[in-house]
Amino acid sequence: MKQTVGRFAPTPSGRIHLGNLFCGLLAWLAARKENGKMILRIEDLDPQRSRMEYAEKLQEELLWFGLDWDEGGTKGGQHSPYIQSQCDETYQVAIEILQQKEMLYPCFCSRAELHTANAPHLSDGRYLYSGACRDLTPQQQAEKAKQKTPALRVKVPEQVICFEDLLYGTQQENLAQQAGDFMLRRADGVFAYQLAVVVDDLRMGVTQVVRGRDLLGCTPRQIWLSQQLGAERLPQYGHIPLVLDSEGNRLSKRDGALSLDCLRQHFTSQQILGKLAFLANLIDCPKEISLQELIPLFEWEKIPKQDICLPTNLFEV
Ligand code: GLU
């Protein structure tokens, strides 16, 4: 059997918070439980949001917890680079493969056009693309290109993608009706997350993707895109609940009190791990525990499906 290859793929757009750490921990445990290896990929595609200093800091923080990796980050490895901002050529090759299959088209729509009142709103807050630029003639494209640099979209078929999530079970989506033609490269030339994540998971030989439930809805598109790029084997996907603050709001990288910096001043790594393992339902009280002790305790069946509100007193000092 092939070795499990897990990965943690944070975006260095701020200091990581407990939710990111929770995801890093579960991805690590899921891979280590199967004697798998772990990759750390830095998803800094968006130059406006990402900063290298955050990428450096998050590596230091992961290592403080013992959440190590075999390849990636600044450590490198056989699939270098592991930093997405250094992978433009690889993403461009994927774009060209799809272009040769005539699956892509330039999209000149403005944000306002994309968000018109009659554009169907999708459950994840996106709008279903109307297809306005799908059938432009080459002349119309050339005319519009004089005014505006286009984004690139991929045409999706009326196809139902079905997969088995390790936690949330059977999922299915009709691509045309529920995802729509999606963007692979923005008008400013930045490659889209959907493309980069697929290309990288494939080229790095990732077999297990563990990440937040907020990305569950991206998975059918990613599975389909992997197939279009010739994937012989798809990774298994396991989405995990989000960690919310005590009022049920999503944690933000700006939440000072729950920043790792602040928590590290008051708790040991084993105390923080124990609290997270308790939230993940791997242990029945928030006691100090080591990563090595946690590995055998990890089981998908134990992880709650509902998002997790932080109990007010859990991280109180
Ligand atoms: N970079 C994404 C994030 O930080 C995660 C992407 C993924 O795991 O596929 O939310």
Whether 13 has a pLDDT exceeding 70, the answer reads yes
Question: Given this model, what pLDDT does residue 46 score?
Answer: 93
Mean pLDDT of 59-84: 96
Residue 77 pLDDT class (50, 70, 90 cuts): very high
What confidence tens digit (pLDDT) does each residue in 205-262 have?
A: 999 999 999 999 999 999 999 999 999 999 999 999 999 988 899 887 666 667 788 8
**Residue 315 CB neighbour total at 10 angstroms:** 19
- CB of residue 269 inside a 6 A radius of ligand 1: no
- CB of residue 11 inside a 6 A radius of ligand 1: yes
Mean pLDDT of 25-41: 98
- CB of residue 201 inside a 6 A radius of ligand 1: no
Instruction: Tell which residue, 246, 227, 250, 201, has the closest CA to residue 90.
Output: 201
Whether 154 has a pLDDT exceeding 80, the answer reads yes
Strand order in the sheet with 182-185: 104-107, 151-154, 182-185
- CB of residue 199 inside a 6 A radius of ligand 1: no
Question: Given this model, what pLDDT does residue 287 score?
Answer: 97
Question: Given this model, what pLDDT does residue 254 score?
Answer: 65
Instruction: Tell which residue, 103, 111, 153, 112, has the closest CA to residue 133.
Output: 153
Residue 312 identity (one-letter amino acid):
T
Q: Which atom of ligand 1 lies at the shortest distance from residue 201's CA? A: 9
Could you tell me the distance, in angstroms and rounded to a whole number, from the CA of residue 223 to the centre of ligand 1? 15
Instruction: Tell which residue, 259, 252, 249, has the closest CA to residue 307.
Output: 249
Question: Given this model, what pLDDT does residue 240 score?
Answer: 98
**Considering the entire predicted model, what is its pTM?**
0.95
Could you tell me the distance, in angstroms and rounded to a whole number, from the CA of residue 9 to the centre of ligand 1? 5
What confidence tens digit (pLDDT) does each residue in 283-311 have?
A: 999 999 999 999 999 999 999 999 999 99
Could you tell me the distance, in angstroms and rounded to a whole number, from the CA of residue 45 to the centre of ligand 1? 11
Whether 127 has a pLDDT exceeding 90, the answer reads no
- CB of residue 310 inside a 6 A radius of ligand 1: no
Could you tell me the distance, in angstroms and rounded to a whole number, from the CA of residue 11 to the centre of ligand 1? 6
130 or 201: which leads in pLDDT: 201
Could you tell me the distance, in angstroms and rounded to a whole number, from the CA of residue 14 to the centre of ligand 1? 13
Q: Return the structure tokens found at 45.
A: 């595609």
What confidence tens digit (pLDDT) does each residue in 188-202 have?
A: 999 999 999 999 999
